[in-house]
Structure 1
Amino acid sequence: MGCAISGSGLTARAPEIRAGEEETPAGLTANHIRLIKESWRLIQEDIAKVGIIMFVRLFETHPECKDVFFLFRDVEDLERLRTSRELRAHGLRVMSFIEKSVARLDQLERLETLALELGKSHYRYNAPPKYYGYVGAEFICAVRPILKDRWTPELEEAWKTLFQYVTSIMREGFLEEERNKRSNTQTSSRERPDKRSTAI
């Protein structure tokens, strides 16, 4: 596979703050944000390619993830995946989310709202949080060769921190939606009239 962090779930420790840097609520430093934005300008040029590489690698390294994707569940041929219009479209949707996340790095409240809503929608898609970290790991593996010598340990740490932050909020959204669904189900079952008590 060739990527050392593949499947790690991006559970690296919180980054250390260097002298002269301020920590944001996300654990992202001003330097992280600068590095992410600079690298994103280059990544954008290959956005569709990165999306496809990311998901083909994801299914290759974590085939259990295909269970979440109805369209790809039974596809074993990786070449068929690489040329799939549906996979390309989904990859572009994920890359669009990453693009929006990068654009909101200076507005963390808006980024949190975006990630929370995405987590809630993943509950409705039946895509559990255990898979979220894998996407970040595969994104890093996909962009590293594109950025070549521009890829540095600091840049990797910045992207890891961003994905860790976003996936933790997505997880909150997923769990919140799960609790709401459970609560609504319990409420509606209590509100149903008991046929025995209403019979005359």
Structure 2
Amino acid sequence: MFQQLKQRFLSQTGEDDTKLNTKEIDLIRETWSHLRSDIAGFKTFGADLFIVFFQHYPDYQKQFKSFKDVPISFSTVSMQTMRYNKKLLAHGTYVMYTLSMIVDNLTNPETLDQMLKRFARNHYRRRIQITAFERLRDIFIVQLAERLGPELFGKKATIAWRKVFDYILNALDQMDSNKEMSSFSPNELTILQKVWYNITRTQSNVFGTNLFLRLFELHSNYLPMFGFPTTTCLKDETFRGCAKLAAHGANVMYALNMVFDNLDDLEMVDELLSKLVHSHVRRGIEPQMFDDIVQPFADVMDGIRSQFDSNEVEIIERAFMFVKQRIQQLYEEVDAADLFDDDSSHSSIDATII
């Protein structure tokens, strides 16, 4: 049945133009509004989409940690059970509302472009291949055709929806081509890694401790977040020399050391930082809070500036800002489905930036 529908709706579209015209956008929105008119059905459509996807391509299920071990079969009983699996339902729902966001912005090219770039970055660092999206697209169109029927979903709708997915595929392909390399030359990376390693090895306790002391001086509201009373006297020598404060500082130093050593591989950097972001999200730390560490970092760097060439300091500060900004971008890209994932690996690195 699937192959027959696929042949009927996906073959021989005869369209070379990949851009959506006004009529096609209207058709996309019309078909989508019919699907959204039934909210309950709209939510389970996403789960059903992945059930059918895994039935036809079982190897892809292994890429989803939340439900990789859940048995899926073609039986009606299995599908009814699986479609209400909370983690699968959450991921399917996330996909459906992501598509809604895309559909609603088809006439806003700049906004759409940023949405697609974010989507592409999110999936690129998870190593999801374009082939997987092509196969999911084919199943999506078949499922949508089955749900709406031939009167609402014919050849023109098929062509239009394939163009929507072409936008997504092009964004993924562009991401694969660019690989979003950082703006540091090989020589700058060598300088950064050598100098920061020396700072970490010889001054991690002093630098890290001073970083947090300066943060608490400027923003005392962070004291409880790190397990210190709001009444803490920052000038108290016992506090300034306590192991907990030194540990927080060392975590920052070595976390930055780890990231700086991998700035020649942005995919690896995103993997490392995404673990940190998931850990901070679960602790209720907001992305704007990372802005508050910038001034303390600059102040502590000023204290040791005379030990280094101005070029070395500039590279370190630029690298720090790059990491800070990338963390904040990754906050925006946290996959909603991941927040339903109980896998403890997200918090396995006890590295803290703030």
Q: TM-score, normalised by structure 2?
A: 0.46
Query: 1:15 touches 1:27 (CA, 8 Å); kept in 2?
Result: no
**For the residues of structure 2 that align with 1:184 and 1:139, how far apart are their CA atoms?**
43
Question: Deviations along 1:174-199, whole A, 9 cap, x unmatched?
Answer: 554x4437x7999656643399xxxx
Do the aligned residues in 1 keep the contact of 2:124 with 2:176 (CA within 8 Å)?
A: yes
Given the alignment of the two structures, is residue 2 of structure 1 paired with residue 7 of structure 2, yes or no?
Answer: no
Aligned residue for 1:60? 55
Contact conserved, 1:144 with 1:151, CA < 8 A, in 2? yes
* Alignment deviations for residues 156-189 of structure 1 (CA, whole Å, 9 cap, x no partner): 111111111222113323554x4437x7999656
Q: Match of 1:22?
A: none
1:155 pairs with 2:147:
no
Contact 1:50 1:139 in 2 (8 A): no
Conserved? CA contact 1:129–1:171, under 8 Å: yes
Take 2:185 and 2:56, find their aligned partners in 1: how far apart are those partners?
Answer: 37
Q: Deviation per CA, 1:34-76, whole angstroms, max 9, x where unpaired?
A: 1101111101123112101110111111112113211222223
**Contact residue 43 and residue 147 of structure 1 kept, 8 A:** yes
Q: Which structure 2 residue ranges, 5 or more long, are not aligned?
A: 198-354
| Offset of residue 137 of structure 1 | 1.5
Between the two proteins, what is the percent identity of the paired residues? Answer: 20
- CA deviations on 1:136-173 (whole Å, 9 max, x unpaired) are 22211221122112111111111111111222113323
Query: Does the 8 A contact of 2:137 with 2:165 survive in 1?
Result: yes
Change (3 A) 1:191 1:97: same
**TM, length-normalised to structure 1:** 0.77
2:15 counterpart residue number: 15
Gaps of 5+ in 1: 18-25, 196-200
1:11 shift after superposition: 9.6
- In 2, Cα distance between the equivalents of 1:186 and 1:84? 51
RMSD: 3.1
User: Do the aligned partners of residues 13 and 165 (structure 1) sit closer, same or farther apart at CA in structure 2, a change above 3 Å counting?
Assistant: farther
Alignment of 1:46-85 (within 5 A): 46-78=41-73, 79=78, 80-85=81-86
Is 1:34 matched with 2:29?
A: no
Aligned length: 183
Distance 1:12 1:88, change over 3 A: farther
Distance 1:184 1:35 in 2: 48
**Structure number, greater radius of gyration:** 2
Greater RCO, 1 or 2 (C-alpha within 8 Å, sep 6+): 1
